[in-house]
Amino acid sequence: MNTEEINDVIRCYVKAGEIAYRVKKNARRLVKPGVKIVEIAESIEREIKELGGFPAFPVNISINEVAAHRTPYIDDVEVIPDASAVKVDIGVHVNGYIADTAVTVVLDDKLIPLAEAAQNALMKALKAVKPGAKFREIGKIIENTARKAGFKVIKNLSGHSLGHYLIHSGEVIPNYNDPFVLGRFRTDRAYAIEPFVTTGKGMVKEAKGKIQIYSLRRVKGKPLSEPEHKVLSEIIRRFKTLPFCERWLVDVGPVSNLRASLTSLARKGYLNQYPVLVAVGRGLVTQFEETILITRDGDVIVTTNPEIHL
C-alpha cells in the first residue's frame, strides 16, 4: 500500500473507533434493570448506522456468569436483572476496518471492585503496548492486576489482532503470561485488548442451547434448498466474513424458516457457530476492551477512546 492508501485505512480505523466510543457511552445509559436486552442491542446497532458505520458483529449483551457471545434473538424476552454485571461488547466497521470495544455496567456497588479490576488491567496493559512488546508481557500485566485485586482472569478468552473484515486475524493477546504465545506487537497493525476478570475458576465453557451468532465459513459445498440458498446469498452480500445473527436477516423471510435455514447451513458446513460462553463454576465476569492501532511511526492510538493518551 502507498502512503495515501495507508492514511485512508487509518482514517477508517479512527472513524470506526469514534463511532464505537460514542455508542459505548450511550450504552451505559441504556443498561437499566427491567429493560429488554433486544431493545438495547437494536438501539446501539441503529445508532452505529446513523453515525455512518456498520455493526462489525451483533452487539453482545452478556450478563453475570455469561462471558460472551450472547446476542438477543428477534423475539428475545430477557431483561436486565437487578444487581447484575452487564457486559456490552460492540463492534463497528468502516469499509471493513474494525473497532472492537466493551464495557461492563455494574448495577450493584458490591460489583465495583470486580469491574475496576478489569478496567485497571486494561489501562495498565495499554500503557505497556509499543512496537516489539511481547503479547505475553501484556498478559502478565493483566493477570497480576486481577490477582492483586483478589480475582482471576479468564484464561481461555483473549485479545486479538484485527484484519480487514476479520475480527480475529490470527494473533492472540493472552490475558495471562502464556508461555506458548510468542508474538509481539508490530507497526501497521490493529489489535483488541480485552481482559476478562472473574470470581469463578478462570475459564469459560460453551453453554448448551441455541446458537445466536454465526459467520460465513465457505461459499460452496453440499447442495442447498431454495430457502437455504436465498439466506446464504444474503449472508454473503450483507456480512462477508463478519459475524451476524438472526435479527439481521429478519426481512429475508418468516422467522421459523430463517432459523431452520441457519441451522441447516451450519450443519452443511457453510457457517461457523459461536456458542454462548459461560464461566466455569458460575462466577461473575467483567470485561473491558479497547482497540488500538500502531502506526508506521510506532504511535499507539486507542481508536475506541480518544480520552486515553498513551
If DSSP states are collapsed to H, E and C, what string results for 169-197? Answer: CCCEECCCCCCCCCCECCCCEEEEECCEE
**The only residue of 192, 211, 258, 279 in contact with Mn ion, by rule CB under 5 A:** 192
What residue type is 77 in one-letter code? V
**The only residue of 18, 45, 47, 100 in contact with Mn ion, by rule CB under 5 A:** 100
89 belongs to the binding site for Mn ion (CB under 5 A): yes
Helix (H, G, I), strand (E, B) or coil at 8: helix
Residues between 275 and 304 that touch Mn ion (CB under 5 A): 289
171 belongs to the binding site for Mn ion (CB under 5 A): no
Q: Alpha-carbon distance 253 to 76, whole Å?
A: 18
Binding mask 14-53 for Mn ion (x = CB under 5 A): ----------------------------------------
Catalytic, 160? Answer yes
Catalytic, 168? Answer yes
The residue (of 117 and 192) whose beta carbon lies closer to Mn ion is: 192
Burial of 224 (0-12, 13-18, 19+ CB in 10 A): middle
The residue (of 16 and 102) whose beta carbon lies closer to Mn ion is: 102
Whether residue 246 contacts residue 73, with contact meaning beta carbons closer than 8 Å, is answered with yes
Q: What is the dihedral of CA 169, 170, 176, 180, to 10 degrees?
A: -170
Strands 196-198 and 152-153 come out as antiparallel
- Residues that contact Mn ion, how many (by CB under 5 A): 5
Q: Which stretch binds Mn ion (CB under 5 A): 97-105, 124-132, 141-149, 232-240?
A: 97-105
Point out which residues bind Mn ion (CB under 5 A).
Answer: 89, 100, 102, 192, 289
Give catalytic residue positions. 89, 100, 160, 168, 194, 289
